[in-house]
Structure 1
């Protein structure tokens, strides 16, 4: 997407998917919601490529050279699909990791650069969230 970016056209007309989501996090955005630099988008793309390569090589290693089951080598990572306790433990760990990710987003919005607000005066701007809504009726209503 970075290599095909045309600053004069809106992102939705260019068929982009990732750049507007990074823009809502406030990366590379200047006054009035204009994209001023594409360096953060390029950096995120490179990080994703490297991470996917590491995960891919890890998958190839474990399918070709790794042990058949992890239960003998690493008992913590060994599991059986019929073991309800282990399945709920795996689900719980993943839910905790998702909660940590959501908390990191809150920290970024409140203290580390803010997020893009489309309703800010002047056509939208990146701002800090100073008074978050904590009322569950407003959030879920």
Structure 2
């Protein structure tokens, strides 16, 4: 459950959306499906919007596009030297995203309005009840985590196989080519420390292949195993709950956003100059931010600048969200801060 500071009759305002799914695993699934539908819709709609504004005579990196460069990077659109030559493929991908967003949205509505709000209401040993959970039940949470890891691993395999069979954009030759992964464990290990400068598509695919293996093995492990030994405070007893797990999830998103920001700002193999513009430099005024290293004119910014800065600031605010929810999970009451300031205003000093 969410942090209630020992009170049993806590009510939440409408904007505390997470409170609506606490203790209702069916609603939790509905929220997941609807959220995925929103992301799908944005990707498809924004991709079509950018394609409608696309001008082949202007470098893609100077057109403030963020969806088109990603599609071009995985070899969609018949990319030649950073120019889209076959826009039909992009239209198909974006349209499929819109269709799937409708399916996911319908699934969210179905789970929210038609199916049980709590999967625990289904018959014993039924498939839906297998995914019912309590926030402080480590065995059921690790079971669900295992399924997440397997799907992530399958996604990584799909990317590796796409690069091997279809091909991805190689800035060194200015076109799409097939890339066979290099499963060199030593190289993969070493790239932990210099991934910002990695310049081999084969090594990148090898890293994804290795990651897929780890995720699937980890997923099977979490599905097949239960808590080892006694469930102690060291393992999360008394702390593991909706608020704590939300804080873990948010900091994970923050970490990925920061990595993506710095990778996008500096790497020209994953983020080719043809598609995103020149590498950026880190500047600082009222806050850190990335700036273009070439003059694009007054008020103009490269796709790389838009993407890197967006990730950087989203990562920062997600980190604040993590701290907020983590401190609440640990029992810190933020309302006491306001009360402390109020007490300071009303405090009087008397002299004897």
Of residues 138, 144, 147, the one that matches 1:90 is 144
- The 5 A counterparts of 1:12-51 are 12-51=61-100
1:7 positional shift: 1.1
Counterparts of 1:90 and 1:16, CA distance in 2: 36
**Rg (Cα) greater in structure:** 2
Counterparts of 1:30 and 1:58, CA distance in 2: 35
The SS at the match of 1:75 is helix
Query: Are residues 1:52 and 2:105 paired?
Result: no
Query: Are residues 1:65 and 2:117 paired?
Result: no
The SS at the match of 1:107 is helix
Counterparts of 1:131 and 1:94, CA distance in 2: 24
Larger relative contact order (CA 8 Å, sep ≥ 6): 1
Of residues 110, 128, 132, the one that matches 2:178 is 128
Counterparts of 1:100 and 1:11, CA distance in 2: 31
The match for 1:137 is: 189
- Structural RMSD (CA): 1.8
The SS at the match of 1:129 is coil
Residues 30, 125 of structure 1: 8 Å contact kept: yes
Scaled by the length of structure 1, the TM-score of the pair is 0.85
Unpaired runs of at least 5, structure 2: 1-49, 123-127, 194-352
Unpaired runs of at least 5, structure 1: none
The match for 2:222 is: none
Query: Are residues 1:107 and 2:161 paired?
Result: yes
Counterparts of 1:32 and 1:22, CA distance in 2: 14
Scaled by the length of structure 2, the TM-score of the pair is 0.37
Counterparts of 2:191 and 2:183, CA distance in 1: 7
